[in-house]
């Protein structure tokens, strides 16, 4: 615009006349207008992104607020804002909106619905502004990093009756932690804190005062959940079958910890994951964090994972395998664990199609070893382990 004004001035100076000087004055007025807009209306804006939560569960929604303020004497005619983030959370182009009108500040809100599992990052905010006639436009790009961690969705499992004969006390997942009332190991003096049912009447009748029974304390089940992340078993990131497997693993772990049983996780995605068993709510949150970001990127076969990781398992641990594949290699690996006196249960996530060739006979073979195989055909886990859920007729 400045060059055009200079040319118009030179043309009017040497040519003279009404038209050249008219062009000069018009261009000068436009130059003055552009300068006023650039220096007084398009000042460096201030932008901030606020997320309604830093964590969420898969399937939930997130509200994103973008606050902007332009400290200008003259409010701009329009503002264009683009929020750039992870394409898994936003669209590939990001959230874009045009704010018309003369506004110096405001708040823009938009929602992200049905959030997928994972760690989603917001990178930057791009702002454009200009005048009403399109003569002036300025662009800014602000680095504003935010992220939200979306945990796998957990579903209710109403019952899971599993017993490990090699775990001291034979703890049942449908019972609470307590004492094995069938095993009295001694007597002691009765106190007012003891229940009447604890009185040992025969010992009390000997004339030495009231005696209370001492029971053998039961040890809870220790579960190690092994999640199959082999890349060849899934169709890549976002595969519904893998999402179901992760959701099932998280649901089973929550079921165990809520009943004060211990739960750990083993998985081989892009790296080895081995979280030892624990039974506290904080430990459950610690389990959910890697499950939120894990993807089917593993190159190690699940059969090799079972054999290699089984040597690190504490005695009496129940291995719970979650996998879509149950072929000969997996069956042989499970049989090796059974020979090592390791309790194994299998949850097989399956689609609507028929079983691949070579896998139809494996569930029956495992059933003969006392290994229950539960088919998981949908996301309804409530009656997953109920009657008729397994392929065979045996029971662990």
- Give the model's pLDDT for residue 386: 56
Flag whether 189 is in a domain. yes
Flag whether 78 is in a domain. yes
- With a cut of 70, say whether residue 251 has pLDDT above it: yes
- The Cα–Cα gap between 221 and 350 comes to 27
Rounded average pLDDT over 90-108 = 71
- With a cut of 90, say whether residue 52 has pLDDT above it: yes
**In a shared domain, residues 235 and 355:** yes
**What share of the chain has pLDDT > 90, as a percent?**
39
Count the domains in the chain.
Answer: 3
**Average model confidence (pLDDT) for the chain?**
80
pLDDT band per the 50, 70, 90 thresholds, residue 389: very low
- Give the model's pLDDT for residue 254: 95
Mean pLDDT lowest for which of 70-79, 95-104, 256-265, 317-326? 95-104
- Give the model's pLDDT for residue 50: 94
- The Cα–Cα gap between 307 and 174 comes to 29
Rounded average pLDDT over 32-41 = 65
**In a shared domain, residues 231 and 366:** yes
In this predicted model, what pLDDT tens digit does every residue of 122-158 receive, in sequence order? Answer: 989 998 887 777 777 888 899 999 999 999 999 998 8
In this predicted model, what pLDDT tens digit does every residue of 181-194 receive, in sequence order? Answer: 445 657 778 777 66
**In a shared domain, residues 186 and 241:** no
Flag whether 50 is in a domain. yes
Flag whether 312 is in a domain. yes
**In a shared domain, residues 283 and 353:** yes
156-162: Cβ within 8 A, 24+ apart:
156/251, 156/381, 156/382, 157/251, 157/252, 157/255, 157/381, 157/382, 157/384, 157/385, 158/382, 158/383, 159/385, 159/386, 160/252, 160/255, 160/384, 160/385, 161/385, 162/221, 162/318, 162/345, 162/385, 162/396
- Give the model's pLDDT for residue 202: 75
**Domain termination residue (choose one: 217, 237, 272):** 217
**In a shared domain, residues 192 and 327:** no
Q: Which domain holds residue 68?
A: 46-151
**Domain termination residue (choose one: 131, 151, 171):** 151
- With a cut of 70, say whether residue 388 has pLDDT above it: no
Mean pLDDT lowest for which of 18-32, 80-94, 212-226, 358-372? 18-32
Residue 281 belongs to a domain with what CATH number? 3.40.50.410
- With a cut of 90, say whether residue 174 has pLDDT above it: no
With a threshold of 0.85, does the pTM exceed it?
no
**In a shared domain, residues 231 and 121:** no
Per 3-state DSSP, the chain is made up of helix, strand and coil in percentages (nearest 5) of 30, 35, 40
């Amino acid at each position: 615009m400045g060059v055009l004004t200079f040319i118009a001035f030179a043309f009017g100076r040497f040519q003279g006349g009404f038209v050249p000087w008219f062009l000069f004055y018009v261009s000068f007025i436009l130059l003055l207008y552009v300068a006023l807009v650039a220096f007084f209306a398009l000042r460096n804006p201030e932008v901030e992104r606020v997320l309604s939560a830093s964590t969420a569960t898969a399937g939930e929604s997130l509200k994103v607020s973008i606050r902007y303020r332009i400290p200008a004497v003259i409010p701009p005619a329009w503002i264009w804002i683009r929020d750039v983030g992870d394409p898994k959370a936003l669209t590939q182009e990001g959230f874009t909106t045009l704010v018309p009108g003369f506004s110096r500040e405001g708040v823009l809100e938009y929602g992200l619905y049905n959030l997928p599992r994972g760690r989603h990052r917001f990178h930057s905010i791009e702002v454009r502004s200009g005048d009403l006639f399109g003569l002036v436009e300025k662009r800014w790009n602000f680095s504003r990093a935010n992220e939200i961690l979306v945990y796998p969705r957990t579903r209710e499992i109403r019952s899971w009756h599993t017993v490990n004969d090699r775990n001291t006390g034979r703890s049942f997942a449908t019972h609470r932690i307590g004492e094995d009332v069938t095993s009295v190991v001694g007597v002691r003096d009765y106190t007012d804190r003891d229940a009447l049912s604890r009185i040992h009447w025969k010992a009390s009748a000997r004339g030495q005062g009231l005696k209370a029974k001492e029971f053998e304390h039961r040890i809870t089940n220790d579960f190690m959940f092994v999640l199959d992340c082999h890349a060849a078993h899934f169709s890549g990131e976002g595969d519904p079958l893998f999402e179901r497997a992760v959701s099932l693993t998280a649901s089973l772990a929550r079921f165990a910890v809520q009943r004060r049983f211990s739960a750990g996780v083993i998985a081989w995605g892009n790296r080895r994951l081995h979280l030892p068993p624990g039974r506290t709510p904080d430990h459950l949150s610690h389990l959910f964090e890697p499950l939120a970001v894990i993807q089917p990127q593993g190159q190690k076969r699940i059969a090799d994972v079972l054999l290699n990781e089984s040597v690190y398992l504490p005695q009496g641990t129940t291995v719970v395998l979650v996998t879509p594949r149950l072929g000969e290699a997996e069956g042989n690996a499970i049989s090796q664990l059974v020979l090592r006196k390791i309790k194994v249960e299998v949850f097989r996530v399956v689609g609507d199609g028929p079983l691949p060739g070579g896998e139809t006979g494996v569930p029956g073979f495992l059933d003969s070893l006392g290994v229950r195989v539960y088919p998981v055909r949908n996301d309804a886990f409530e009656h997953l382990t109920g009657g008729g859920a397994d392929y065979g007729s045996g029971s662990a």
